[in-house]
Structure 1
Amino acid sequence: MAGLQSIGKSDSYHILLNGFVEENGKQEVLNERFDVVPKKTLGERLAHALLFEIIAVALCAPALAWIMGKPLLHMGALTAAISLVAMLWNMVYNAGFERVERRLGWVRDTRVRVGHALGFEGGLIVIVVPLAAWWLGISLWEALVLDIGLLLFFLPYTYLYNLVYDRARDHWAGTNGQTC
């Protein structure tokens, strides 16, 4: 005979089971934590990436136009192009990262979130620097310096966006930090 007394506080990444199991006349306490990474649909991945980029363009285009002394439309077009590249990279990177995360049983703590943000931004640099250099008519070095400036914005932005998104996802899914 076995009994499950409770499924403890959780979010979509952790499930706590408390209860007992009886085997061969002996009762043993069950106190297990299971770490899970929920799968996202293609539609959810698109919404996640699109919202990320809309907010980023709204923040970056005016700031870059002012810093670079370029017309807002010119910088807005570059920002939109970078946004499209970043959105596609975001979907590919997150799908791969979450696959590795599930396979290795990682818990999405601060360390994993920071690693996620660093890996994403590192890959994006390889794509964006040549694009920015060409569009602005500057050297690769100048484009790299510009991208490093953007990186200083995007590292905390990426971390905070995904943290808020994950918590909102839990809320929308009806878990509110708990599982029934």
Structure 2
Amino acid sequence: MRSTPDRIRHAISFEILGLALITPIGAWLFHVPLADLGVVTIVGATIATIWNYVYNLGFDHLMQRLRATTRKTPLIRIVHAILFEVCLLVFLLPVIALYLEVSLLQALLMDASFAAFYAVYAFAFNWGYDRLFPLPEWREAAAKG
């Protein structure tokens, strides 16, 4: 299982790269001033960073209990990414609606767009992160066949 420093590195690097990608794209796509969307994305990233840590820790404990490993198949990675984004959508919907002064439906459409981006991004980022920083148990399992 991943260490606390590794989990913190994962969560922070995930959010920094995600912010660098989504903020200018979202401002352009939704015709919202970059500064306003920047506030929303920074608040969202802060909430997401905390959620990322808690969610991944819980998910890994569940994987360890159910499968005796934290190694994820492609299907488990898809489920992992979708569940993360659905829960995050519930947390962020009121933040977007209140700060940008848009209806809940508009906030839902914006948040769903962000969630779609982040679901794909999370899948790719986590796969890449696991390849860059593999756990010793994965290397041992790969060596055994």
TM-score by length of 2: 0.88
Match of 2:48 in 1: 86
Match of 2:30 in 1: 68
The CA distance in 1 between the partners of 2:13 and 2:72, in whole Å, is: 21
CA offsets 1:111-163 (integer angstroms, 9 cap, x no match): 11111011100110110111100111011111111111112211111111100
Matched, 1:97 2:59: yes
8 Å Cα contact 2:2-2:135 kept in structure 1: no
Q: Which runs of 5+ in 1 are unaligned?
A: 1-38
How far the C-alpha of 1:172 sits from its partner, in A, is: 9.8
**Which of 1 and 2 has higher RCO (CA within 8 Å, sep 6+)?**
2
Q: Which runs of 5+ in 2 are unaligned?
A: none
- Superposition pairs of residues 52-67 of structure 1, within 5 angstroms: 52-67=14-29
The CA distance in 2 between the partners of 1:94 and 1:171, in whole Å, is: 15
Match of 1:154 in 2: 118
Match of 1:115 in 2: 79
The CA distance in 2 between the partners of 1:70 and 1:142, in whole Å, is: 12
Match of 2:11 in 1: 49
How far the C-alpha of 1:70 sits from its partner, in A, is: 2.2
Q: For this pair of structures, how many residues does the alignment match? A: 140
TM-score by length of 1: 0.72
The CA distance in 1 between the partners of 2:66 and 2:129, in whole Å, is: 23
CA RMSD between the two structures: 2.1
* Rg larger in structure: 1
| Identity across matched positions, percent | 33
The 1:170–1:178 alpha-carbon spacing in structure 2 relative to 1, beyond 3 Å, is: farther
Q: Tell me which protein shows more strand as a share of its residues.
A: 1
